[in-house]
Amino acid sequence: MDSRILCSFYRCTIESILTGCITAWYSSCTALNRKALQRVVKAAQHITRTDLPSMEDLYTQRCRKKATKIIKDPSHPSYKLFCLLPSGRRFHQQGDDLMEKLHSKS
């Protein structure tokens, strides 16, 4: 079978299932779970004979996309969690300060 068809099938079905709500659950996966998910991607790479993005790359991409949508929508409930850094080019998530403080106390 043509690798373009196989790759399209992977992206439309398997990747879609694997990445459903990935921004909500991936960060809490154990290393063992992440390895198992990556094995699925590697098997698909072997079958399709193409390079596919890793689960980590997909997670990062989806998080950035979600953050961009939040930043562009002032009516979003999480909009106030992001503030522009003094450079004016990047955003800082307000929750990062809280997490740093919590980790430094332990």
Q: Is the pLDDT of residue 57 over 60?
A: yes
Summarize pLDDT for 16-41 with one digit per residue, the tens: 888 888 888 998 999 999 999 999 99
> Is there a single domain that holds both residue 51 and residue 61?
yes
- The pLDDT score that the predictor gives to residue 101 is 47
> Is there a single domain that holds both residue 13 and residue 45?
yes
Q: Is the pLDDT of residue 89 over 70?
A: yes
> Is there a single domain that holds both residue 66 and residue 88?
no
Parent domain of 45: 1-72
What radius of gyration do the chain's Cα atoms show? 18
Mean pLDDT along residues 30-58:
94
> Is there a single domain that holds both residue 88 and residue 56?
no
Mean pLDDT along residues 54-76:
90
> Is there a single domain that holds both residue 57 and residue 89?
no
In 19-80, which ranges are continuous DSSP H helix? 22-25, 31-48, 55-72
> Is there a single domain that holds both residue 14 and residue 35?
yes
